[in-house]
Structure 1
Amino acid sequence: MRATLRWAHADFRAHRGEALSVVLASAGIIASLLLAGALFSYAANPWQRIFNQSHGAHIWLHTRAGADADALAGLDGVAALSGPYRTAATTVEAHGARAGVTLRAAATAPPETGRPLVTSGGWLTRPEAGTRTRTRTGTDAGAGTGAVVLEASVARALWAEPGDTVRVTGPDGAPHALRVSGIAEVAEPRYHPGGASGIGWVLDADLDEIAHGATGQSVGLRLADPDDTDFIVQRAVTVLGADRVAQVTKWQQARAEAGGDDRLLGQVFAVFGLGALLAAALAAAGAIGARVRGQLRDIAILKAVGFTPGQVARGFLVQHLAFALLGVTLGTTAIALLGARIPGRIGEAAAVWQDLPGHTGLMIGVPCGAVLLIAAATGLSAWRAGRVPPVPVARAALPSAAPMTALSRRALGMRVPPALVLGWRAAFPRRGRTLVPVARLALPLVLITVALVAWSTLDQFRSRPAQMGLPAALTVRTEQPAGAADAELEKVLAAVPDVAEVHPGAEVAALVPGQTGTITLRGLGTAGSPYPSTVVEGRPLEGPDEAVAGQGLLDLLGVRVGAWVRMTVEGRPQILHLVGRSIEPESGGRVITTTLDALRERDPALRPDFHALVLHKGADPRAVSAALATAAGGTLEVRETPNPADRLEPARAVIAALIAVLALIGLTELLTLISTGVRDRGRDLLALKAIGLTPRQIGSVIVTAAGLTALASAVVGTVLGVLSGSWLVDAQGASSGIGAGIARFPSAPVLSVVVAGAVLGAVLAALVPATRTARRRLADSLSDTL
């Protein structure tokens, strides 16, 4: 053992550069994996992230005015209070949309507990006397216009942005103008049309002007132990009095509401996580294997002087385990101390990660798993090292590259640059030696392309919603009773600029066969003008009693396109022929869509509940919404069609950061491949220099070989990434009920940038070793022949 340790120490002193590269590669891989874990936790736990960042309250009590909320601070188990805040129930209107909002009176400084996280604009400030506010459209909002901060889901429903002016109607019915100063996120239940009201924050003076004393009260309780929620709620209600508590909101409700987003994002990023782990494993194994192969001559000499195979294997294990522990420690320490200082979303994710669930487990599990992985890779390489024969010249007797082919000789005869011909020969020597490096380098590029497919799919939901199951941009409901005015309303809607089509619609709840579940039956459009559903399987509606259904409904009923479905609506049967499968983003895909005329066959008195508006290409839904409000005299309730991309918006920035992490892993793999190739082709380069190639040509051979290897890997990686990415996105769409057929390929320029970036990175990474190798003298390279 002593001899083994002495040899390991001597080997380390003789190959400090190689040892440093292994340590840095291990540190880089660990840092990449930890950053990937931080990004996954950041994206897949949006509610938990917001709760931790805002120091959120576990319980929100909404009481009547006069309740002694300050007494709750003395309850055992209550760590902090948020508020109490005076509140008022109001209606907020903007761009033709309307939403119920509970305004809270707040100070100019956000609270410490239950703090709204301002994502756009700024917090409330007290206006200077005599100032006037000017809106983004250039109209004067008037003197004394107050400010409001809207919760993000309310702002999306109203299309409100910082700088807009909204109309607020208080309990007395009087309108007031407020300027939107900011958009904020909170760890509380989101706003839903027809459901819970949204949240807004205003200054005390503004709330007094709007509510005139008709206010309630809200207070948030942050608990020392979240598991005591139910018990604390009982005690709080007892302290305040049951007659004074109007509503109680628990943190479990808000988390459960965001659970669908967590599951969807978690599934998507779990795939990326496994792929990144595999890529990192191959990179670590490659770096260790390359170093072992580079010391075959030293190993042979050790065997010749009496070292046993076991001693050689133990020496490599001791060395590389020490390198692995050092690299893992450096990578983990760097992320723990400096991760939060990385600019952009990666640094933000690293800063928030330490407060998210699973942080400790990943910070311990990832490094330990990496050490075990490196130990396994080292053990395999050490076992191979122990089998090296004690004959130093055996390495020189083996050809290091493929023989010159007739095509290569013909190319040289045609005066093709020698660097290109010899670089091709070095990049693709033999089938087995070509596939391994190409496959290893292609794996990170496959994952990068898969991420780009997910990005392109999200962009399609934004830029071309009609192709993703969202032809109608707006949904209009009227406060007037339906009846003879339906035709007149349709004429008013169709006359608004940028409105291309108006489709009357109605939705009813229907019982599936066996009456074991409820689905949504939607009548939309007429027989003469059917709704343009996005049909990806089968055909659109053409005749009576025909319908299209989402993937979730087909899975629920266990039927396929072409089947006849009998359902029960209000006690009467409705039989429809499923002629197509549509992309259906709403209700988990458990929606069947037919024409309004088909529903009227069952109920002739059925009238439209709403109208779906299809806009001209390039039309601004906000401008159309405002025009609708003006044309109808404020009697319409206009809603924007919900877009799944809103729920997945956090994934966009995380995908971009993930691409950067995968690029780092790919760069580590690339550096290993280049250094291995230069060392393995040392005798070839010596021969080329001996026959008269200049140093510049020698360096060009190395750079060309690296570029061609990267080019082959990039082409293979992008092709496989596009295919696997489209399959993954479609499979996720099918499992979520939206349905397959939503995946979109990245554009050709984007894929070209990926390929060009890989080749350019390989060329730049090969410049330093190429320059160093080209400057070596013949005498310096004689040892490579042994």
Structure 2
Amino acid sequence: MRGEGLRRVRATLRWAHSDLRTHRGEALFLVLATAGIVASLLLATALFGYATNPWQRVFTQARGAHVWIHTVPSADARRLARLDGVDSVAGPYRTEAATVSVRGTRASVELRGTPGLPAVGRPLLTAGHWLDPAEPHGVVLESGLARSLLAEPGDTLTLPGTTRTLTVEGVAESAEPHYSPGEQPGLVWAPPSAVRAFGGQVIGLRLDDPADTDYVVQRAVTALGSGAVGEVSTWQQARSAAQGDNRLLGQVLGLFGLGALIAAGLAVHGAIATRIRGHLRDLSVLKAIGFTPGQVVRVFLLQHLAYALLGSVAAAALTEALGRRVPGRLGDAVGVWQGLPGHTPALFLIPVGAVLFIGLTTGLAAWRAGRVPPVPVPRPAAPAGGRLTGLTRRALGLRLPAALVLGCHRAFAGRGRSLATVARLTLPLVLIVVALSAWTTIDRFHDSPGHMGLPTALTVRYDSDVDPAGVRALAARDPGVAAAYPGVEEAALVPGQTGTVALRGIGTRDEPYPYALAEGRAASGPDEAVAGQGLLDLLHARVGDWVRITVGDRPQILHIVGRSIEPQNAGRVVTTSLDALRENNPGLSPAFCELRLRPGADPHRVAAALTSAGRGHLDVHPVTNPADGLSPLRAVVAGLIAVLALIGLVELLTAIGGSVREGERDVLALRAIGMSPRQITAITVTATSCTALAAAVAATALGVPLARLLIDAEGSSSGIGAGIARSPSPGLLLLLGTAAVLGAAGLAALPAARAARRRMADTLSAVA
């Protein structure tokens, strides 16, 4: 019995080795596809960890405050420490809004008078040292602000328009929102004596339960009075801002990785099913020499598990060894991920999960091999393609090329099997269409920012003593400036007093701001406004509703007549004209100016010219484009397309092998009616091309709306709003379909020609 078992093992190994030699290309493609899929999933996991854990690490180590509330100077902020649910507080600290400059680079900042290193919201020093009482002009910069200013300990900051100077003593990380030009001022910790203009105060609340954030904010605003609260920021907003585009990259990689895994599993399933149909005689021989159905199943299962395991291990090893060397954000993400606690389990579980999934799809197909009887069943006498349909006979009667007609007939005659082949080939093509749509959408942000919520290229901020009309006149004299829109932005409390949003007044009724509208119409009448998706979601409102927000102690009631694509502030923005805001506050003065440039104008040249003309009183910076942070997505998309193309190639090779094998039974009949080997080859090539054409058409029909749905859903969840998705150009889609069809025809030509020129004896043995 033991010798019999060894003989079976040796026979199994010999059969597996022979099969591997026969299908080397297919095995290589399966290994490479699995490696690409597992690498994508590992990189997605790394990006998710990179997006969340750095901020979480800083928040935990700094004992970050869950809520930061800015109030007027006269508010008694200390009473908030006695609120239910508040564990401890940071401050209150005196604040001053200022502008600092170093080596010609300016930034808006918040000077925060901090007497000592706080226990809550404690900055984590990365360079230099903390504030020294002996240095009354020493400050510590938040790390994002320091990077923007290219400042380091020892540098001297000036405050334009004054004679004051500050010395950088240190740089520190903080869990609060980082500096963002035009959106979020940079944080500067300073001795209380350095905060001269007492513009307000800020207090941080650390809560017993972070889930009670909205409730505590509401109670805090009620205790102080809405007129005393200027701005509220929460830990959720800070975390979302810190994650930024990294989470989106992780979602893209994860989505395509899972889709590619499913496509690969189906491709393996189809490959095994096709090979089983072509190896019925070999399987019968294995059964005849004593192999049990379970052993036959294990032959196929273990063989393909070995391919999947080899690809998974290779992907894990390469990601671990070389991942951190990838330039840009992906390399940084892998480096951070490798130091996180969940790194080792993920590095093991993701490849194992991929192998198990491929093993499941393999097992379902291999189960059929175990059911093959030990005595070969004679093949049916009917042609593989089945009887000729009426449409096929009419086409032949019209004297259309017989090879073309019979090829189309063979492609779609066996409906169930043909549809399964088309479906398996369609899936990777659908994902490629979605990937191309993501690429096109990113290009749209760069090429046509005005259609994506970014009609202006530069923002000009100026000191309070500068005449706004003079700034507009200065900008208008520059040949690169097409229009200048005065504007003001205020923090407003939403109903329920659980958070703040941005209320913007930009442009005038005579020269309205060019919104990028996705729904409704532009605001033109009194009290009319447009809102971003994030604000509509926060207020549970929609276009056509009236909303009430509070700026200080002044209520502002606005009619939302449109939804704009709003890339800034997570879409929590309501925008109206400057004239509409002045109706409620006549003394309101513009605080900045948005510049729309002429086509071809260089933003950097215009910014440099205006900064020089402003003589130190103007802060000119480019408008942040969210697509700038998505540049690594191009390389990701290119890599994913390569992996998906590889999976499609495996499926094409499977379909070609099955078509050639099925066509062997028709060779004698086709020769008997006088068809040449070239015509017989053309039948197989046409059948394969028709299959690829059907898959390309189906992929286009399904992929374009699916891509719009996914991209717009991501836009809505990020607050930008639906309406940003852009489909690939018809030419690009036509190129994809043409490449699929021509690739299928080229791959099918050689094996089809070999089969058509086989010797008559070989053909007789194949159909026997």
Aligned-partner Cα distance in 1 for 2:159–2:705: 58
Cα deviation, 1:364-411, whole Å, max 9, x if unaligned, reads: 334433443344334333433344456634432454213223443444
Contact 1:345–1:653 (Cα < 8 Å) also in 2 = no
**Matching residue within 679, 693, 697 for 2:661:** 679
| 2:543 matched residue in structure 1 | 561
Contact 1:90–1:169 (Cα < 8 Å) also in 2 = no
| 1:356 matched residue in structure 2 | 337
Structure 1 segment 4-403 matched on structure 2, within 5 A: 5=9, 8-9=12-13, 11-12=15-16, 15-18=19-22, 20=24, 23-41=27-45, 44=48, 91-93=102-104, 192-193=180-181, 195-196=185-186, 258-300=242-284, 305=288, 312-335=292-315, 353=334, 356-357=337-338, 360-389=344-373, 392-397=376-381, 399-403=383-387
Amino acid at match of 2:348: I
| 2:406 matched residue in structure 1 | 422
* Residues 1:596 and 2:578 aligned together: yes
**Matching residue within 660, 671, 680 for 2:642:** 660
| 1:638 matched residue in structure 2 | 620
| 1:584 matched residue in structure 2 | 566
Aligned-partner Cα distance in 2 for 1:476–1:724: 40
Cα deviation, 1:58-84, whole Å, max 9, x if unaligned, reads: 999xxxxxxxxxxxxxxxxxxxxxxxx
Kindly tell me: are residues 493 and 648 of structure 1, through their superposed partners in 2, closer, same or farther at Cα, counting changes over 3 Å? same
Q: CA deviation at 1:603?
A: 1.1
Contact 1:512–1:567 (Cα < 8 Å) also in 2 = yes
Contact 1:553–1:592 (Cα < 8 Å) also in 2 = yes
Aligned-partner Cα distance in 2 for 1:354–1:173: 38
Contact 1:19–1:323 (Cα < 8 Å) also in 2 = no
Aligned-partner Cα distance in 1 for 2:388–2:613: 80
Kindly tell me: are residues 300 and 273 of structure 1, through their superposed partners in 2, closer, same or farther at Cα, counting changes over 3 Å? same
Aligned-partner Cα distance in 1 for 2:322–2:499: 51
Question: Does the residue aligned with 1:713 lie in a helix, a strand or coil?
Answer: helix
Q: CA deviation at 1:347?
A: 12
Aligned-partner Cα distance in 2 for 1:266–1:297: 47
Contact 2:101–2:107 (Cα < 8 Å) also in 1 = no
Kindly tell me: are residues 348 and 687 of structure 1, through their superposed partners in 2, closer, same or farther at Cα, counting changes over 3 Å? farther
Long gaps (5+) in structure 1: 61-88, 101-113, 116-150, 161-167, 175-185, 199-252
Q: CA deviation at 1:449?
A: 0.8
Cα deviation, 1:94-152, whole Å, max 9, x if unaligned, reads: 7xx7689xxxxxxxxxxxxx99xxxxxxxxxxxxxxxxxxxxxxxxxxxxxxxxxxx99
Structure 1 stretch displaced more, 562-571 or 287-296 = 287-296
Amino acid at match of 1:321: L
Aligned-partner Cα distance in 1 for 2:331–2:671: 50
| 1:437 matched residue in structure 2 | 421
Contact 1:39–1:654 (Cα < 8 Å) also in 2 = no
Question: Does the residue aligned with 1:638 lie in a helix, a strand or coil?
Answer: strand
Aligned-partner Cα distance in 2 for 1:684–1:153: 71
Q: CA deviation at 1:632?
A: 3.5
| 1:451 matched residue in structure 2 | 435
Q: CA deviation at 1:153?
A: 7.8
Long gaps (5+) in structure 2: 63-99, 110-125, 128-141, 161-171, 189-236
Kindly tell me: are residues 353 and 616 of structure 1, through their superposed partners in 2, closer, same or farther at Cα, counting changes over 3 Å? same
| 1:121 matched residue in structure 2 | none
Q: CA deviation at 1:287?
A: 1.8
**Matching residue within 463, 468, 479 for 2:447:** 463
TM-score, normalised relative to structure 1: 0.71
Contact 2:715–2:721 (Cα < 8 Å) also in 1 = yes
Give the paired residue count.
626
Q: CA deviation at 1:348?
A: 10
Contact 2:449–2:455 (Cα < 8 Å) also in 1 = yes
Q: CA deviation at 1:675?
A: 1.1
Contact 2:535–2:572 (Cα < 8 Å) also in 1 = yes
Q: CA deviation at 1:474?
A: 0.9
Amino acid at match of 1:328: A
Cα deviation, 1:414-455, whole Å, max 9, x if unaligned, reads: 443333222212222233222111110010111111111111
Contact 2:520–2:543 (Cα < 8 Å) also in 1 = yes
Cα deviation, 1:640-676, whole Å, max 9, x if unaligned, reads: 1111112222222111111111111111122112112
Aligned-partner Cα distance in 1 for 2:331–2:749: 33
Contact 1:549–1:592 (Cα < 8 Å) also in 2 = yes
| 2:497 matched residue in structure 1 | 515
Q: CA deviation at 1:312?
A: 4.1
| 1:474 matched residue in structure 2 | 458
Kindly tell me: are residues 735 and 626 of structure 1, through their superposed partners in 2, closer, same or farther at Cα, counting changes over 3 Å? same
Q: CA deviation at 1:29?
A: 3.1
Aligned-partner Cα distance in 1 for 2:554–2:300: 75
Aligned-partner Cα distance in 2 for 1:752–1:746: 10
Q: CA deviation at 1:759?
A: 1.8
**Matching residue within 653, 663, 670 for 1:688:** 670
| 1:608 matched residue in structure 2 | 590
Kindly tell me: are residues 356 and 692 of structure 1, through their superposed partners in 2, closer, same or farther at Cα, counting changes over 3 Å? farther
Cα deviation, 1:246-291, whole Å, max 9, x if unaligned, reads: xxxxxxx999863233322222332212211111111121222222
| 2:478 matched residue in structure 1 | 496
**Matching residue within 525, 549, 554 for 1:572:** 554
TM-score, normalised relative to structure 2: 0.73
Aligned-partner Cα distance in 1 for 2:258–2:173: 30
Kindly tell me: are residues 360 and 21 of structure 1, through their superposed partners in 2, closer, same or farther at Cα, counting changes over 3 Å? farther
Amino acid at match of 1:755: G
Contact 1:39–1:346 (Cα < 8 Å) also in 2 = no
Kindly tell me: are residues 517 and 362 of structure 1, through their superposed partners in 2, closer, same or farther at Cα, counting changes over 3 Å? closer
| 1:785 matched residue in structure 2 | 767
Amino acid at match of 2:337: L
% same residue: 49
Contact 2:16–2:303 (Cα < 8 Å) also in 1 = no
Kindly tell me: are residues 390 and 170 of structure 1, through their superposed partners in 2, closer, same or farther at Cα, counting changes over 3 Å? closer
Question: Does the residue aligned with 2:379 lie in a helix, a strand or coil?
Answer: helix
Aligned-partner Cα distance in 2 for 1:347–1:587: 25
Aligned-partner Cα distance in 1 for 2:393–2:468: 82
Question: Does the residue aligned with 1:428 lie in a helix, a strand or coil?
Answer: helix
